Chains A and B, each alone.
Chain A
Amino acid sequence: MKVKPYISHSELNKVRNNKNISISEVYFKHYFNIKFDRKIVYDQDIILEIEDIKIPNTYNKITYYDNDRLIWLSPYEWMYITNSDKFHNLCKSPKYEYIDDLKSIIDLSSAYTTIKLSGEYYINVLNKITTLDILENITSEYCAQSLISNIKTIIWMDNLTKGIFLTVNSSYSQYLFETILDASQEFI
């Protein structure tokens, strides 16, 4: 059974590999929301280890595990993005049900869509659509949340290529794509 991309647009192919501005939908199989007790202030560096995945206590931090990403959302909330089913099976394990601080791991696969923005002028486009201070020299360990065109968006850097990922609720992804496409027109 084939996954259907969320975004469809007549200009999608034109901008997918454009060297000035490249916009594309990136498929990730699983998105997990991990929540801890908000009343606890954590002082240790690693809050919890779920098998080999260490949840670090660092703000606006993104941690890479091979091709998987652990994104900081708030002092008690993370998003784990992965293409493997390993975590999916792990978090079902009863041993994670009884950890006091761990409130929930909710499978949000297919609730989110990720758009990748790269190319020579991607910073110029970001300057139009977000108030965040996103400069070229920000490292790939950076993530943040902001409103882009009034849509709550998780913004994170790519560790492999120059560019940025924008993760939004799937129902907004077509609108966000069109917003970015419109903002990019002068560079295409």
Chain B
Amino acid sequence: MKQINRINNLGLINRSKLIEFYFNDKKLYAFEGDTLASALLANGFIFTSRSIKYHRPRGLFAHDISEPNSIMQVSIEDKEFINVQATDIYLYNNMVIKSINHWPSLDFDIFSLKRIFSKFFLPGFIYKTFMYPRLLWDFYEKLIRKTKGFGKLKLEEDLLRYEKKHSNTDILIIGTGPSAISFAYSVLKFGYKIIMVEQDSIFSPTMLDIENSFTDDKQKNEFSQIKDYVLKHSNTTILLNTKLSSFNDHNFSTLIQNSSVINLSESNYSPDQILWKIRSTKVVIAAGAIERPMLFENNDLPGIMSSKSISMYLNRYGVIPGKNIVLYTNNDYSYQMIFDLLKNGISVSAVIDVRKNINDEILVKLQKNNIKVILHHEVIKAYGNKFINKIDISSIDKKEKTTIKCSVLAVSNGYTPINQYHVQSGGLLSYKEEIDSFVPIETKFSPIHIGGSAGIFDLAESIKSAYLKSLTLIDKKMADLKKTSELNNFKNTNNYSISKYLPSVIYNMNTKNIFVDYQTDTSLFDIKYAIKEGFIFVDQLRRYTLFGTGIEQGKHSNDNILFLLADILDLKPDQIGHVKSRPPFSSINFGAISGRSNNEFFDPIRITPIHNWHKQNNAIFENVGQWKRPLYYQKFNESMEESVNRECLAVRNSVGVIDASTLGKIEVVGPDSIEFLNMIYPNKFTNMKIAKCKYSLMLNDEGMIFDDGVIAKLDENHYLIHTTSSGASTVLDWLDQWLQTEWDHFNVSLRSVTDKWTTISVNGPKSRDLASRLFENVDFSNESFPFMSYKETSVDDIPIRIFRVSFSGELCFEINVPSNYGQYFWDKTFELGRDLSIVPYGTEAMHVLRAEKGFIIVGQDTDGSVTPIDIGAIKMLSKSKDFLGKRSLDRPYFHENGRKQLVGILPDDFKNRIYDGAHIKNINDEILTGDILGHITSSYFSPILNKSIALALVKNGNAMIGQKVLIIDMNLNKNYGTITKPVFYDEKGVKQQ
């Protein structure tokens, strides 16, 4: 096992644990704690991927989530990850990694021939080329889609387990670098609770190279103690492997944890990824800054890397990308990489700096180590195929040109502070010339930015300024007292500088292969071409050229492009505006957003107390709103139709029982209840007697049927109203809304009691016999207990409510018992009804029975445009009082010819059911000719009548009774039937009486 680029005894990785992994089918080795990126570098893999558009060879550029090039497809055991940045995933044994965007292999990619035609692939190529002929677009689209995109999505079920967690804190600090530690130390002293977030698996990884930056040993020790204090404080919570995904209004933040680690534990229950939702008083962004690449020809070759990242790979993982390293920079901060390398005995071949002068102390150190320093020069071209091997450099005045050999070119074109969170929440940025960057303009509502994120790159200065910013949160007098803190003594002594640099080549239209956005293969030429076409606004330019739209969202490229745009248009960067960042900041799985809210936890399920009995008795369930209701009970190998027929006939001939607990029940209490009900329902309740029931429709203010149910008068000023099962909560909200807005003078109180009662609905000619056995103390005779009345009784002090109503058209008693005793009474009902051939029946049989009687289901036989007049319930509309919808119903339109009316249909082929929704036309019309008169709303086979029946809404239906009509179903089959009255069975209602 040899890792050619690994440095001994350096980095925070577990060298005692070796890991085997496969990269493009080649077995490689790494150590525990290595990311894929560090392991590839350690194994000498500089060329790691192909670019998306031209399939150019690419290598690692960065060390973190700003990495634009190395996008991988990763699988381990049965878990699969797509579009993973090599820098953003830790390695595990037997992990299989494939690079993407090539065929047949990374080394030999046939699609790299596209480069030959690159001059044709201008911005807008697809839009312009494939517009004509329009008929071929479907064909083009398939081809284009095959060539686009990054990873390959696995179509099987995602086996990762996701969680959401909520937390609340005083201050949420994003980052664990020196400025974050300084801020945390200060606020902890004042008793604040903090959460610190680190994307790495170790706390404060940047301190590894930053500790080298302390020139003063006393300050170094002092800061080490401060770091320990923060780490050990009881008010500190640290979230490792966590990234801030979005910053939202009111300091609500979402974070993703463990997207870089994989849970391989045997337990299935530890979450793989966690979406944190954290509410805090203030959010502090201490996430640092991103180093920008330099612009020159072939600036995307493998081996060209960010100088800061080379430091990180060295200090964090003990890895260097190669031996012959050259630095190309425009600022003093990037020289830290050289000092880190020197400390470990690795030299740098040369330094090319675009500036005329650099910091004196740095210059002395470089000269002392015999490093060649070439000032006021720029790199104009890099050479190599699958990795860099030399560069051409030229003096800025173009008078001198020379070539330098190198295997690694470290670049630094200044730094972009992490300001995306600020911009996400609508914050503005301002251009700061001395650091050549945009920094956030903070407001009362924005996050606080410190350290590199605030554009402060000097170590001591960022520590001190973070401390001073923390005082803005604290009471002013207290803050004055605390200005004596040791953090106040950190002072910037370095006097480092950054010089704004753009290559003169930007004014030359013929430049090629200067890439400004690696991930989308956007070149300098593309930008200039788009500007020439008039795309001079940032977001227009972005959409046209696609820069910043990849997985890393242009973290390393956006600012470079803004400066180019400003320069080409001869404007200041401030006048250009900036790219609008949107969440998420880094890629996030859809699974993490949904959390556990999938499969059985997608939507709440309501069950009745008898649910388990239904299950044990082979009930097939259907969803009614959130309720689970038995559709039918399957016996032996019955088909659904056979089960339903059996259940229907049992109800018609003996006794059937249905669990009707799901019916909505609302208690109406108060002295104005009667007035309230008179307004809500079209019927009149004024003379209603205690213990009587009344069926009514509920109308909306437009006069349309909105719900229906039975209203029972339980006592003086005490009513129980029933609603449909799925409409119960909507009705309660609707009633409460009227009470709170229009009728707040009514002294009425509402409360849902749906869950309080289990409703056992006993139906059929033998139901009286059965009910009498259940409650021997109640007289169930017709005289004592007539249709549409109500009785109360009790068993062992348990209150029982019995309603004599019917939705089946049979003699029926709806027995309501407290839910805790629901199962007991249900069992007792079946025990006592055994010799009466009792059967349970489901909602499908319920529908057949009610359709035979012409009873409507709101939402099935009505559709929000149906009035009581349309269904023949005009007698229900009281003329002597006002009610909701009354004025709307007075409109002439509702009384004119042409309205659809509820009728029955008897199909000619009486054995076959017609599909619900089938269209009804005149008998002489054809499938494609003639007007549609209406549609079938309910259609069933009636076992008692031994024929198919249907309910329908038909234009002028009542006048067409007796006429034959054409019925066309959704498969365009022609059927014929006769329009009838909507009641097919026991028209006079004798049986239910």
Kindly specify which of A51-59, A114-122, A127-135, A154-162 makes contact with the partner chain: A127-135
B147 within 8 A of A: no
User: Chain A residues near B754 (CB, 8 Å)?
Assistant: 111, 169, 171
User: Chain B residues near A111 (CB, 8 Å)?
Assistant: 752-756, 819
Q: In the bound complex, what is the Cα–Cα distance between A110 and B822 (angstroms)?
A: 10
Contact pattern, A 56-90, Cβ under 8 Å of B = 1, otherwise 0: 00000000000000000000000000000000000
User: Chain A residues near B818 (CB, 8 Å)?
Assistant: 109-110
A16 within 8 A of B: no
A112 within 8 A of B: yes
B511 within 8 A of A: no
Contact pattern, A 88-113, Cβ under 8 Å of B = 1, otherwise 0: 00000000000000011011111110
Q: In the bound complex, what is the Cα–Cα distance between A67 and B606 (angstroms)?
A: 29
B603 within 8 A of A: yes
Partner of B749, one of A103, A135, A172: A103
In contact, A106 and B269 (Cβ under 8 angstroms): no
In contact, A1 and B165 (Cβ under 8 angstroms): no
In contact, A175 and B824 (Cβ under 8 angstroms): no
In contact, A131 and B166 (Cβ under 8 angstroms): yes
Q: Name the residue of chain B whose CB is nearest to the CB of A148.
A: B604
In contact, B755 and A106 (Cβ under 8 angstroms): no
Q: Name the residue of chain B whose CB is nearest to the CB of A109.
A: B818
Q: In the bound complex, what is the Cα–Cα distance between A178 and B821 (angstroms)?
A: 22
B727 within 8 A of A: no
Partner of B819, one of A35, A150, A170: A170
In contact, B604 and A149 (Cβ under 8 angstroms): yes
User: Chain B residues near A150 (CB, 8 Å)?
Assistant: 603-604
In contact, A2 and B270 (Cβ under 8 angstroms): no
In contact, A149 and B601 (Cβ under 8 angstroms): yes
In contact, A175 and B756 (Cβ under 8 angstroms): no
In contact, A106 and B277 (Cβ under 8 angstroms): no
In contact, B756 and A171 (Cβ under 8 angstroms): no
In contact, A106 and B165 (Cβ under 8 angstroms): no
Q: In the bound complex, what is the Cα–Cα distance between A151 and B606 (angstroms)?
A: 10
Q: In the bound complex, what is the Cα–Cα distance between A29 and B606 (angstroms)?
A: 21
In contact, B607 and A182 (Cβ under 8 angstroms): no
User: With A4-B824, A104-B749, A185-B269 in contact, is A127–B166 under 8 Å at CB?
Assistant: yes
Q: In the bound complex, what is the Cα–Cα distance between A128 and B269 (angstroms)?
A: 14
User: Chain B residues near A11 (CB, 8 Å)?
Assistant: none
User: Chain B residues near A151 (CB, 8 Å)?
Assistant: 604
Q: How far is the CB of B832 from chain A (nearest CB, A)?
A: 15
User: Chain A residues near B740 (CB, 8 Å)?
Assistant: 38
B168 within 8 A of A: yes
In contact, B269 and A104 (Cβ under 8 angstroms): no
Please classify how large the interface on chain B is, using the bins under 10, 10 to 19, 20 to 34, 35 or more. 35 or more
Q: How far is the CB of B242 from chain A (nearest CB, A)?
A: 15
Q: In the bound complex, what is the Cα–Cα distance between A188 and B270 (angstroms)?
A: 11
Partner of B820, one of A33, A110, A178: A110
In contact, B819 and A127 (Cβ under 8 angstroms): no
B695 within 8 A of A: no
State the total of A-B contacts with C-beta under 8 angstroms.
Answer: 118
In contact, A171 and B608 (Cβ under 8 angstroms): yes
Within B657-689, which residues are at the interface with A (CB < 8 Å)?
Answer: 667, 669-670
In contact, A104 and B798 (Cβ under 8 angstroms): no
In contact, A103 and B609 (Cβ under 8 angstroms): no
In contact, B269 and A171 (Cβ under 8 angstroms): no
Q: How far is the CB of B898 from chain A (nearest CB, A)?
A: 43
Q: How far is the CB of B172 from chain A (nearest CB, A)?
A: 14
In contact, B269 and A175 (Cβ under 8 angstroms): no
In contact, B608 and A103 (Cβ under 8 angstroms): no
Q: In the bound complex, what is the Cα–Cα distance between A186 and B604 (angstroms)?
A: 22
Within B134-169, which residues are at the interface with A (CB < 8 Å)?
Answer: 163-168
In contact, B670 and A104 (Cβ under 8 angstroms): yes
User: Chain A residues near B608 (CB, 8 Å)?
Assistant: 171
User: Chain B residues near A183 (CB, 8 Å)?
Assistant: 163, 596
User: With A106-B667, A128-B164 in contact, is A175–B605 under 8 Å at CB?
Assistant: yes
Q: How far is the CB of B795 from chain A (nearest CB, A)?
A: 7
Q: Name the residue of chain A whose CB is nearest to the CB of B270.
A: A186
User: With A112-B755, A130-B166 in contact, is A39–B744 under 8 Å at CB?
Assistant: yes
In contact, B756 and A172 (Cβ under 8 angstroms): no
Partner of B670, one of A33, A103, A130: A103
B859 within 8 A of A: no
Q: In the bound complex, what is the Cα–Cα distance between A177 and B751 (angstroms)?
A: 25
In contact, B596 and A1 (Cβ under 8 angstroms): no
User: Chain B residues near A35 (CB, 8 Å)?
Assistant: 749, 751
Q: How far is the CB of B350 from chain A (nearest CB, A)?
A: 54
In contact, B751 and A127 (Cβ under 8 angstroms): no
A3 within 8 A of B: yes
B215 within 8 A of A: no
Contact pattern, B 783-812, Cβ under 8 Å of A = 1, otherwise 0: 000000000000110100000000000000
A20 within 8 A of B: no
Q: How far is the CB of B706 from chain A (nearest CB, A)?
A: 23
User: With A111-B819, A128-B163, A174-B607 in contact, is A169–B749 under 8 Å at CB?
Assistant: no
B555 within 8 A of A: no
User: Chain A residues near B795 (CB, 8 Å)?
Assistant: 1
User: Chain B residues near A13 (CB, 8 Å)?
Assistant: none
**Which among A109, A170, A178, A185 has the greatest number of chain B C-beta atoms within 10 A?**
A170
Q: In the bound complex, what is the Cα–Cα distance between A137 and B822 (angstroms)?
A: 40
In contact, A109 and B167 (Cβ under 8 angstroms): no
User: Chain A residues near B748 (CB, 8 Å)?
Assistant: 103
User: Chain B residues near A107 (CB, 8 Å)?
Assistant: 756
In contact, B604 and A4 (Cβ under 8 angstroms): no
Q: How far is the CB of B818 from chain A (nearest CB, A)?
A: 4
In contact, A104 and B823 (Cβ under 8 angstroms): no
User: Chain A residues near B168 (CB, 8 Å)?
Assistant: 133, 135
A18 within 8 A of B: no
User: Chain B residues near A3 (CB, 8 Å)?
Assistant: 820-821
Q: Name the residue of chain B whose CB is nearest to the CB of A36.
A: B749
User: Chain B residues near A17 (CB, 8 Å)?
Assistant: none
B919 within 8 A of A: no
Q: How far is the CB of B326 from chain A (nearest CB, A)?
A: 50
Q: How far is the CB of B735 from chain A (nearest CB, A)?
A: 14
User: With A109-B818, A170-B609, A182-B601 in contact, is A131–B277 under 8 Å at CB?
Assistant: yes
User: Chain A residues near B749 (CB, 8 Å)?
Assistant: 35, 103-104, 106
User: With A110-B818, A174-B607 in contact, is A4–B823 under 8 Å at CB?
Assistant: yes
Q: Name the residue of chain B whose CB is nearest to the CB of A38.
A: B740
Q: How far is the CB of B255 from chain A (nearest CB, A)?
A: 13
A179 within 8 A of B: yes
B267 within 8 A of A: yes
B837 within 8 A of A: no
User: Chain B residues near A6 (CB, 8 Å)?
Assistant: 609, 819-820
Q: In the bound complex, what is the Cα–Cα distance between A183 and B740 (angstroms)?
A: 38
Q: In the bound complex, what is the Cα–Cα distance between A170 and B611 (angstroms)?
A: 12
B627 within 8 A of A: yes
B279 within 8 A of A: yes
Within A1-33, which residues are at the interface with B (CB < 8 Å)?
Answer: 1-4, 6, 8, 33
User: With A1-B798, A127-B166, A172-B604 in contact, is A108–B753 under 8 Å at CB?
Assistant: yes
Q: How far is the CB of A136 from chain B (nearest CB, A)?
A: 12
Q: Name the residue of chain B whose CB is nearest to the CB of A179.
A: B601
User: With A112-B755, A150-B604, A175-B606 in contact, is A128–B796 under 8 Å at CB?
Assistant: no
Q: In the bound complex, what is the Cα–Cα distance between A57 and B821 (angstroms)?
A: 35
B747 within 8 A of A: yes
Q: 16 extra interchain contacts, Cβ-Cβ under 8 A, other than A110-B820, A170-B609?
A: A2-B824, A3-B821, A4-B822, A6-B819, A103-B749, A104-B751, A108-B753, A110-B821, A111-B753, A111-B755, A111-B819, A112-B755, A131-B166, A171-B607, A171-B755, A174-B611
A-B contact pairs, 6 of them (CB 8 A): A3-B821, A103-B670, A128-B164, A128-B165, A131-B279, A179-B601
For the complex of A and B, list the 9 residue pairs with the smallest distance between their C-beta atoms, beginning with the closest: A185-B269, A111-B756, A104-B749, A133-B168, A171-B606, A111-B755, A110-B820, A110-B818, A103-B749
Interface residues of B (CB under 8 A from A): 163-168, 267-271, 277, 279, 596-597, 600-601, 603-609, 611-612, 627, 667, 669-670, 740, 744, 747-749, 751-756, 795-796, 798, 818-824
